[in-house]
Structure 1
């Protein structure tokens, strides 16, 4: 593919955020050479400030031009800039140093890029599970794309170009982020819910139902040709009336096989090709436009082991999503690190209580009964995770708490936060957050100095 002439675009700075293993412990290293771990906040989204219960206060606090004449968010008014500056001020005072996922896409990154580390999302294709399973999701986001098509490669190249040229000159960019919760494989609980243990790869299931001339369908036929001596042998395994490879290419109903084990292996082979295409194309085009900033890949709450080699090859830092105490996934992330060699960030997680104002939608997060328990759980997560030399921090799912009577975001559940809807701190929670964030780098540094740290 011929790249455009971008000679007038801003160039990558000499010094950017990198990762480095020092005395056995991984660190982010800033442009100034300082070591740090990322302590971030997610879900900086205007609708959380524009519920029926807090819109008037938001407009009074930040300015009437926070919304347009159509009552939609106005990203270009003085109020929006004041709003972001206020958030930066509040969260950095608590020791946070990063903006993570779900900063509203329309907010100019120039409002915060000089003051806080941040990630740049690419949103290349709607492969996230939450985009695929919501009611009418296909109408909103579209079906899985054909990853083997020329059109897909053009789309990836175009999106990467857009994002890299927008962000590559920023010294505080943590790295490039792809999909939020890609649906690579059904989790064990999803397999039980769907009563499906063979066709457990949603993207592969979409590909094998494509038209005969689709590039993905042709790749599927190649998988079958490599696995079986003849089209008739493959047809027998899938219980299909087909006499030729062309007949199989025309087939869309594959779902009554006679040999589930063989089918599973065929689908897994196809998915390995999909993963190589997804991660390989992103890495290839990012490196053409930006040879220095980190590649963060996708944020995932379930990473099947067959995906590990692609993370090792194409990704610099692995992002996970875990809403639970660290000890619940300690063994999982340790194995992930051992197999990939990548340092790890929990890119989304939180602890919460369900307040009366959230009784309908509930609340995200791992639930406790009291604010004291929520704050202590935050502190313990930061400490215990950063005892591990391969963990590089975590991003809290939410800044401002959402109540029932508010527009929904990526899921129906209300967002958690350490500020109430009127931007007032929950002091019992933030006292613990401030202490944990202040101590985080020291706790992480003690791993190298002492071979581990003892809990207080």
Structure 2
């Protein structure tokens, strides 16, 4: 099987363009590499000499071990680049040292994030999600995109750009807030809060009709604007699993159904504005490359998925489970290719606590390798998949990193010792990935 220098399948199905793009062939989505090869992005996140400090200290145990082992950062880069391509990976995932991409004999694609939304809300007190209605939001993201994307606009190795990582879109492991209740609880006078209340006022007209559903202590729209906090009258679970059935049962209560409709309608408006403005900002700064989405941390409501499909080149999401099929099927409704941007399995046999962090735990490294194989094999038969990125390159410190995570996520230990069972499985599946994905065409029902 002849391959391009990027690792794509060189079978003449696509023309070279000099940059990565996405195409469909026989109903199957693919990246197309700069030389026209059919390409699946097989990546590893956080490939860095200095990935994690021990929490509360300046110590970076992995970097200390690698400095002693290799003598220099550049020698580490060369070794790691050769190791990754030797395992048939072709992409440096998020938060990686991009110099590694060109440090070996075979180039690696890069896939950075520019944190457009996150960099905005971090400067606004009292926000959990960027206020996309703020008068300064668009100017901020355009300036940040110019600074971070314009220098890469001619880079052939750039797979594309991620907008953000795991913004809070809907109820998930972090809480039960909806985007609507999030915006309603911005400080009084904030643009997003005013927009949310205005949308409710346009929908209900009379305040009394709104308050039948929401039961606030206010007695007018003006008083609602002035409230310190606006509590949600109901709580919804996170989308996914039996969500539709549970929602249908719960929404037999007309008040709750009206509340759910309010939340869904507003989330769709926020998502449409967010994805439209962020995609436009990146494309203005770099018209040559793909916008790879926002690395969704949990499946959001349908209106958010639909908005993503309208504006993005690729929908990206993180999926810490044993099988990504349910999420790949859910995102297929958007009609865009999908990139799994984080997944991992943690083994309990290497002495790390695994006490704080996402993803399944298994007993041994052999089970960990088997979980990887089953996960990737299940993903590859989905026509909308265009890649998968493992989290992460090296294990975390046993003492915990900045947020307390202390897990066996690595392809290597914190002393840079390779996990042989896992990386053998990675090599095997990575080498077979394009063939397995192409078979998805044969599995599709006839039109």
Q: Is the 8 A contact 1:98 1:116 kept in 2?
A: yes
1:177 is aligned to 2:162 = yes
Offset from partner CA, 1:382-417 (integer Å, 9 cap, x none): 223212222122111112223413x51555242511
1:31 is matched with which residue: 31, 34, 53?
34
| Residue aligned with 1:20, SS | strand
CA distance in structure 1 between the aligned counterparts of 2:267 and 2:26, rounded to whole angstroms: 37
1:442 is matched with which residue: 417, 435, 438?
435
Q: 1:445–1:17: structure 2 CA closer, same or farther, 3 Å change rule?
A: same
2:351 is matched with which residue: 357, 366, 380?
357
After TM superposition, the structure 1 = structure 2 runs for residues 32-181 of structure 1, keeping only pairs within 5 Å, are: 32-45=35-48, 46-48=50-52, 56-63=64-71, 79-103=72-96, 107=97, 109-112=98-101, 115-126=107-118, 143-181=128-166
| Residue aligned with 1:121, SS | coil
CA distance in structure 2 between the aligned counterparts of 1:395 and 1:379, rounded to whole angstroms: 13
Q: Is the 8 A contact 1:160 1:286 kept in 2?
A: yes
Q: 1:146–1:320: structure 2 CA closer, same or farther, 3 Å change rule?
A: closer
1:312 is aligned to 2:309 = yes
CA distance in structure 2 between the aligned counterparts of 1:302 and 1:44, rounded to whole angstroms: 24
2:416 is matched with which residue: 391, 413, 423?
423
Q: 1:166–1:81: structure 2 CA closer, same or farther, 3 Å change rule?
A: farther
Q: Is the 8 A contact 2:208 2:219 kept in 1?
A: yes
1:330 is matched with which residue: 325, 336, 341?
325
Offset from partner CA, 1:414-441 (integer Å, 9 cap, x none): 2511212222222222222211111111
| Residue aligned with 1:27, SS | strand
Q: 1:155–1:411: structure 2 CA closer, same or farther, 3 Å change rule?
A: farther
1:279 is aligned to 2:275 = yes
| Residue aligned with 2:292, SS | strand
2:360 is matched with which residue: 326, 349, 366?
366
2:387 is matched with which residue: 384, 393, 410?
393
Q: 1:154–1:411: structure 2 CA closer, same or farther, 3 Å change rule?
A: farther
Offset from partner CA, 1:101-144 (integer Å, 9 cap, x none): 232xxx4x34526821111201123399xx99xxxx999x9743
| Residue aligned with 2:136, SS | helix
Moved >6 Å (runs of 4+): none
- 1:217 shift after superposition: 2.2
Q: 1:244–1:62: structure 2 CA closer, same or farther, 3 Å change rule?
A: same
CA distance in structure 2 between the aligned counterparts of 1:244 and 1:364, rounded to whole angstroms: 44
Q: 1:214–1:113: structure 2 CA closer, same or farther, 3 Å change rule?
A: farther
| Residue aligned with 1:316, SS | coil
More displaced, 204-213 or 272-281?
204-213
Offset from partner CA, 1:309-329 (integer Å, 9 cap, x none): 111101111112122333xx4
Offset from partner CA, 1:58-111 (integer Å, 9 cap, x none): 222344xxxxxxxxxxxxxxx3333333321211111100011232xxx4x345
Structure 1 residue runs of 5 or longer lacking an equivalent are: 1-12, 64-78
CA distance in structure 2 between the aligned counterparts of 1:436 and 1:126, rounded to whole angstroms: 34
Q: 1:49–1:430: structure 2 CA closer, same or farther, 3 Å change rule?
A: farther
Structure 2 residue runs of 5 or longer lacking an equivalent are: 1-15, 235-254
Q: 1:383–1:255: structure 2 CA closer, same or farther, 3 Å change rule?
A: closer
CA distance in structure 2 between the aligned counterparts of 1:280 and 1:206, rounded to whole angstroms: 20
Give RMSD over aligned pairs: 3.1
With the length of structure 1 as denominator, give the TM-score of the two structures: 0.78
Q: Is the 8 A contact 2:349 2:363 kept in 1?
A: no
